[in-house]
Amino acid sequence: MFAGRNCNHIEFRPCQGDEINLLRELFVAAVMELTGGEYSLEQRRAWVSSAADKVEFCARMEAQQPFVAMLQDRIAGYADLQPDGLIDHFYVAPWAKGQRVASGMLQHIEKLAHSQGMTTIHALVSLTAEPFFLRKNFVVVERRIATRAGVTLPHALLQKDLTLKSTRESLPG
């Protein structure tokens, strides 16, 4: 169900149990290294505090069943698609930034969503990720403020209608 490859030689497959700690490390690195333009150090530290408990993070990832994006035999990113159409985690490794990993992951998610009969997908996205999702035909549904470790984190709920003609035409094969 999750396996596949896109034209950029990025391979997608289910996360294996022994890789979950690597996802935790990727999550922390992505937040700390890629979101500094929009979030202060205090905000980024609060954000990654959700991964401080390794056991809890691993249990959450096992429940969400993420897939990994493999590039150059390394995990370049990971994401998930929940049964209600929620993309809960969507992170790219800092070393893979600019290599179309995020585009490939989103394309993979859209294929999965179509195969499961979903007509919309949605995500709570950071200020950093919002421009990417907007370029991919998501729309802002609501602006929100989360609080983590006593620190506020602005973000947005975005949604994409998968029934739009431009969406269907953008999916290969």
Helix or strand holding residue 126 (H, E)? strand 120-126
Looking at the DSSP assignment, which residues form a beta bridge with residue 56? none
pLDDT, tens digit, for every residue of 87-133? 999 999 999 999 999 999 999 999 999 999 999 999 999 999 999 99
pLDDT reported for residue 173: 41
Give me the domain span that covers residue 55. 4-170
Residue 68 has pLDDT above 50, yes or no: yes
Tokens representing residue 17 in the block: 């149990």
Q: What is the CATH number of the domain that holds 80?
A: 3.40.630.30
**8 A C-beta contact, residue 50 and residue 43:** no
For tokens 């969503």, what's the residue?
A: 113
pLDDT in tens, 6-41: 445 899 999 987 898 899 999 999 999 999 999 999
Q: Which amino acid is at 166?
A: S
Residue-wise pLDDT for 124-144, tens only, equals 999 999 999 999 999 999 999
Structural domains of the chain, count: 1
Is 67 within 8 Å of 78 (Cβ atoms)?
yes
Bridge partners of 154, per DSSP, are 145
Note the pLDDT tens digit of each residue in 150-169.
999 999 999 999 998 655 44
Question: Which pTM does this prediction carry?
Answer: 0.89
Which of 29, 32, 53 has the alpha carbon at shortest distance from 41?
32
